[in-house]
Structure 1
């Protein structure tokens, strides 16, 4: 299966701890990822390396003209380095697999957020999945920045 790698870095005027706390809560991904419309069945679990994690079902909604299609994702959200790094492993129908790692680096009064995505797709879905992953990554950066910069700052 082809594998693609995406990387995007951006600054957010919030502390790494504030951003981490927001990203560690599965419900906060609704709207953060523009296709994600629901998070269900959140429960404690383990990732592939046996680390404590949260498992949940995410629902992506695709619209093709008047037709809508809900894609159910199995997601494992792992706090790799508490306060500094989170990893989401996503299993999507159609043999699409995605691992997104978010690194948070304090930088003065802001935080450098770096999201690295590894996307594995069947060849027939590669172009579509890569286009969606790229658009979602850019939208997620803009929405996270908007959310964090509108929050009241901790004293």
Structure 2
């Protein structure tokens, strides 16, 4: 399975960063292509892990005009509250990606976030494009998260 990771440090308490990322509505503004979000009912899996499902729409533009709208189903798994969470992302055609976030306190008020992106299923024809988009989304999300939380 193909994967890559990125680490960022945010001057904000670990619990605050975790709580922010664990809420689907907070994705608005963190990912540049995200134009719509529809949060579904929270539930638990058979192991008691909290699941927060939601749909998003990414809008791809050309010369400022929308040319493609991609509807994506995502589920946040609160695997280790305050220490780790996972986003399971499902998209057409046959794309499944898991974004794992690990949170570590550093200094007294900072958080080290390591995000690992793992491609579970990947359409061979779109592989290069999907991997590049995932890398861009990863950098944008972590940069925007840092800016947002350090302003508070």
Same fold per superposition (TM over 0.5): yes
Q: Which runs of 5+ in 2 are unaligned?
A: none
TM value normalised by structure 1? 0.89
Moved more, 36-45 or 14-23: 36-45
Count of aligned pairs between the two proteins: 149
Q: Which runs of 5+ in 1 are unaligned?
A: none
CA contact (8 A) 1:85 1:103 kept: yes
CA contact (8 A) 1:26 1:42 kept: no
**Which is worse superposed, 40-49 or 10-19?**
40-49
Structure 1 residue 136 and structure 2 residue 127: aligned?
A: no
Residues 4 and 48 (structure 1), Cα distance of their counterparts in 2 relative to 1, 3 Å cut:
farther
Shift of 1:48: 8.2
Question: Who is 1:63 aligned against?
Answer: 61
1:145 aligns with 2:146: yes
Q: Is 55-64 or 126-135 further displaced after alignment?
A: 55-64
* 1: CA distance, partners of 2:131 / 2:141: 15
Please state whether the residue corresponding to 1:90 is helix, strand or coil: strand
State the Cα RMSD in Å. Answer: 1.6
d(CA) in 1 for partners of 2:45 and 2:144?
A: 27
**2:20 aligned residue:** 22
Cα distance in 2 between the residues matched to 1:143 and 1:75: 20
CA distance in 2, matches of 1:61, 1:51: 31
Deviations 1:62-92 (A, max 9, x none): 1133342211111111111111111110100
